[in-house]
Amino acid sequence: SWVSLLIIVPIARKLADFAFPPWPEALWKLAVIALACNVVAVALDPVHFILSLVAGAVVFFTLMVKWFEIDFFGAIMIVIVSWVVRAALNVALAGAIQAVLQG
């Protein structure tokens, strides 16, 4: 998740205007955001998959507003780009694992 945020945030920054701290500060803040979103998603995934996605998005939005001074549109853009990039990374990773296992 942290790596995907490192990919997603610069892309979303082009789509929506928001404050971006220096990279050392941004790296630890993005790591905390990724960890918090993953903890919420893992905790709620047994309840319902969609609930875990929505709750993760709410945690993500709240922390992005607090630390990056992002507006609602910017947060929505990042969440959408995040879902697309994560889905693409999951498909690529699953394909790579399947290719390795098949020989």
Whether the pLDDT of residue 1 is over 70: the answer is no
Rounded Cα gap, residues 63 and 61, in angstroms: 6
Rounded Cα gap, residues 45 and 65, in angstroms: 24
Percent of the chain with pLDDT over 70: 95
**Domain limits at 56?**
2-102
| pTM beyond 0.85 | no
Indicate the number of domains in the chain. 1
Whether the pLDDT of residue 70 is over 90: the answer is no
Q: Give the per-residue pLDDT at 92.
A: 93
- Region 79-94: what's the mean pLDDT? 85
For every residue of the chain, DSSP letters joined together read: -HHHHHHHHHHHHHHS------HHHHHHHHHHHHHHHHHHHHHHTTT-HHHHHHHHHHHHHHHHHHHH---HHHHHHHHHHHHHHHHHHHHHHHHHHHHHHH-
